[in-house]
Structure 1
């Protein structure tokens, strides 16, 4: 799904159409019982700042290193034709929960190359004398997340990372009919936990049945959930109804957050009983993140 990909030629208009189908349920309004989703959909406790470097938008806690807490890294991939500005609220939200986010400015992230390079850039900055990131990042905890063709890029960045990236969140990962030769992704090659997110009204590009197929191809730890009433582009802006559980997953996998883990693990994981979601599936996940890797 490069700039000349099938998704670029045919699917971007389809993405817009799917977004127009978004129903009122796309906000994913949580019930009182869905405490984990509500907690992580709310702004986090950290102040946020941002900076631009060649090829990337950096969004991170303004108080990096406060309390001697290292920031996990998240590398972000945009959907076709989009830039980090289309996801600004979401990226700032993640930073408010303690993540250092590096978002490629590329509008064609399907191969995952820019995303992996972004993760490596922040890892290098952690060891660079005088960098704002020096000694303040948790370089052993790196995640990849992205939307649409950026979701494919997140899978590709992970599988090419040699173990650097330890969790993946593809949002609206496109059906393979939209993928051009050279942009293919292979969920069966993921060896670290992955969380597939999609919308029930995303019937053109990333239908729920397609996401279930990707989930089934993952040999190890995985989760999936479909937001009822959501179209293809609901993730844009501040993340919409996806924001709470996306943040909780990253906190669970990259920060060892036991509260966040409750959405996906335990006797009755919260996400499986949340009426704002459907098509939920979980496999091979444990409450202790390291045990799944």
Structure 2
């Protein structure tokens, strides 16, 4: 349909201009390499961070990964239309500070998910390379996919890859088919998003009746709230990935069970929906 073809490019110039003020100047989170985790998932984690800018993929990861005593799970990331990883630098570094390796695709047109899959392939090669700092420190058994806008749609596309364990699309554009996804999904919308309207994200949620799926609408958020300082997006995204990729039961309780944390947090969320598979 014509409206589907026109919607994705609407984020292009505005997204880049909005990001230019905050993302470039932000400093990498610092911290010790202790295994202690901040109780507030929106706070920086215990790992100092580093960035490796490649041709196809930019990696955000714990700085001391070469001497780490553990394997670190992976998040692959897709950008919004005409945007690059630096636009989302604060969020990606936040995840790295929590112990994740983030493989961000260096493409402003991520919808097909090709570059996101290439990030997994890159880390697989580095994990087996004795000369790499990543050697034997990449947890390729626990991989999540996320992205914003067009990249959110790409996260859904990549979610069909059997290597992916969960998806977290942020305000995803419409060019994806969630019927092909076979892993749990957290679909995030912004209450005041006038580019990817909440009803478009709800359509993905409604179609995801074959997988555990949650729809979360962040109160007051517009399409560019996640750009630069990720604000209210930092805590729930971190908790979701810690629950599914690290086995963090406290984080899991934010989404599952009768005490579901986000279900009662009306200050942060304007709408939360969980399907029957989540309830089980």
Aligned residue number for residue 105 of structure 1: 106
The one of 195, 208, 213 aligned to 2:203: 213
Q: Mind listing any 5+ residue stretches in structure 2 that lack a counterpart? A: 20-36
Q: Return the offset for 1:257.
A: 0.5
- Are the aligned partners of 1:127 and 1:135 in contact in 2 as well (CA < 8 Å)? yes
Matched, 1:194 2:185: yes
Matched with 1:172 is 171
More helix by share: 1
Gaps of 5+ in 1: 20-35, 177-183, 287-291
**What residue in structure 1 maps to residue 42 of structure 2?**
41
Query: Deviation above 3 Å: which 4+ runs of structure 1?
Result: 7-19
Equivalent residue number for residue 223 of structure 1: 214
Aligned to 2:158: 157
What is the distance in 1 between the residues matched to 2:128 and 2:183? 25
Contact 2:239 2:252 in 1 (8 A): yes
SS at match of 1:272: coil
Pairing 1:16-55 to 2, within 5 Å after superposition: 39-55=40-56
Match among 254, 260, 268 for residue 259 of structure 2 = 268
Residue 71 (structure 2) aligns with: 70
The 1:270–1:147 alpha-carbon spacing in structure 2 relative to 1, beyond 3 Å, is same
Provide the alpha-carbon RMSD of the alignment: 2.4
Q: For residues 202-235 of structure 1, what are the alpha-carbon distances to aligned partners after superposition, in whole Å with 9 as ceiling and x for unaligned?
A: 13x2222221221111111111100111100111
CA distance in 1, matches of 2:206, 2:114: 25
Q: Structure 2: how far apart are the matches of 1:76 and 1:127?
A: 22
TM-score (norm. length: structure 2): 0.85
Calculate the TM-score normalised by the size of structure 1: 0.81
2:229 aligned residue: 238
Assess, with a 3 A threshold, how the Cα gap between structure 1 residues 156 and 228 changes in structure 2: closer, same or farther. Answer: same
The C-alpha deviation readout for 1:52-105, integer Å capped at 9, x for no partner, is 122221110012266622100011111011111111111110000000011111
CA offsets, 1:173-199, max 9 Å, x none? Answer: 12x3xxxxxxx3101211000110110
Cα distance change of structure 1 residues 190 and 247 upon mapping to structure 2, 3 Å threshold: same
Name the structure, 1 or 2, with higher relative contact order (CA <8 Å, separation 6+).
Answer: 1
- How far apart, CA to CA, are the structure 1 residues paired with 2:222 and 2:13? 13
Instruction: For residue 125 of structure 1, report the CA deviation from its aligned partner.
Output: 1.4
> What displacement does 1:124 show?
2.1
The Cα of 1:285 is off from its aligned counterpart by 3.1
Confirm or deny: 8 A CA contact 2:66 2:135 kept in the other structure.
no
